[in-house]
Structure 1
């Protein structure tokens, strides 16, 4: 999957597919449709870091914004499985990507610890009624802050919130939010590929 992702990442650059849904660009749904054949995964090192963080914190509920083909969800779910406790709730707007991810989850035997919510995450996650022990944000970058604000009432003190691709400009409002301790986070940037922002809910 990582080899396919590397090839598709080059294809996405040549095609000019953007990494955000804001401005006067495409809507989130239009972007999802345009990128339905493109892998947009966390890096291999980033995936290992996610696995370690979930193993260490042993959350009962892990939530992911942005599944794509499910590479990061596999790392999260493997950690949950190895912990012997927990469940992963992940989201995907693209119908074809969601179907492919479900097939992968079943093929790896991790489908019983993953729930995939298909559709607009701002709607599907609005119905969530559980404490979140770990949150990973890797969907369209300008939607990461709205998703975080939506889920903040479900974050207990000590919850880790991780966002991918800190170098992408669309993530700037999110980074401004979590890097300001007045907003209730202590944040550090971890230098993996495009960078992971790891924030602890205070």
Structure 2
């Protein structure tokens, strides 16, 4: 059956409901965690330590991403930070409904990558998703096509390094969205995209912990 909005497909809707419920349970565990010790770990150590923890985009943020991708109609959506695939489903649903394009997403944790692949297959969206497993600074450096839309939602201190890797593949008009911009580690990234000298027009959208929507000029 074909749906005007793939988010209404029961396979996608049920997967999102299940994962958002799990993410809500994880919020309690995160509140009790030693975040200072977690922050002191390397990216690989954090990926291992958080291999069973949901750290998703909010539902409102996901729906915003869906609408942006529908409007922009990019041939390639690039996502930094798959986790269990919540945000990826919103992006892939938009690509499916556009009738063109694909999502290239990245994940450092092998456990999360495996779980995400299962979900992509269960929802029938795996044919429009390519998951690159490993260090995004390495996997995205090998990207051989322009990125028409970018979502940054992995480790916050890596937003700017990942953006710099992708910049040679960003055409004028490309939208770059950074999630959770109220977090301190995002500050260098925000300083960069908010400086007109770096070639972006940037605005903050007040959803959950904030999204920065930057247009490549």
TM score, norm. by length of structure 1: 0.96
2:163 corresponds to which residue? 148
1:130 alignment partner, SS class: coil
1:123-168 deviation per Cα after TM superposition (whole angstroms, max 9, x unaligned) = 1111111011000000000000000001000000000000000110
1:81 corresponds to 2:91: no
Shift of 1:18: 6.1
Shift of 1:13: 2.2
Unmatched runs of 5 consecutive residues or more in structure 1: none
Cα distance in 1, alignment partners of residues 162 and 138 from structure 2 = 10
1:9 corresponds to which residue? 27
Match of 2:194 among 167, 179, 185: 179
Unmatched runs of 5 consecutive residues or more in structure 2: 1-18
Cα distance in 2, alignment partners of residues 144 and 19 from structure 1 = 21
Indicate the structure with greater strand content: 1
1:132 alignment partner, SS class: coil
1:56-86 deviation per Cα after TM superposition (whole angstroms, max 9, x unaligned) = 0000000000000000000000000000000
Tell me, yes or no, if the aligned pair for 1:65 and 1:136 is still in contact at 8 Å. yes
2:154 corresponds to which residue? 139
Shift of 1:19: 11
Indicate the structure with greater helix content: 2
Q: Against the structure 1 CA distance between its residues 20 and 135, is the aligned structure 2 distance closer, same or farther, given a 3 Å change threshold?
A: farther
Match of 1:47 among 53, 57, 62: 62
Tell me, yes or no, if the aligned pair for 1:20 and 1:140 is still in contact at 8 Å. no
**Corresponding pairs, count:** 199
TM score, norm. by length of structure 2: 0.90
Superposition misfits of 4+ residues, deviation over 6 angstroms = none
Match of 2:106 among 66, 80, 91: 91
2:115 corresponds to which residue? 100
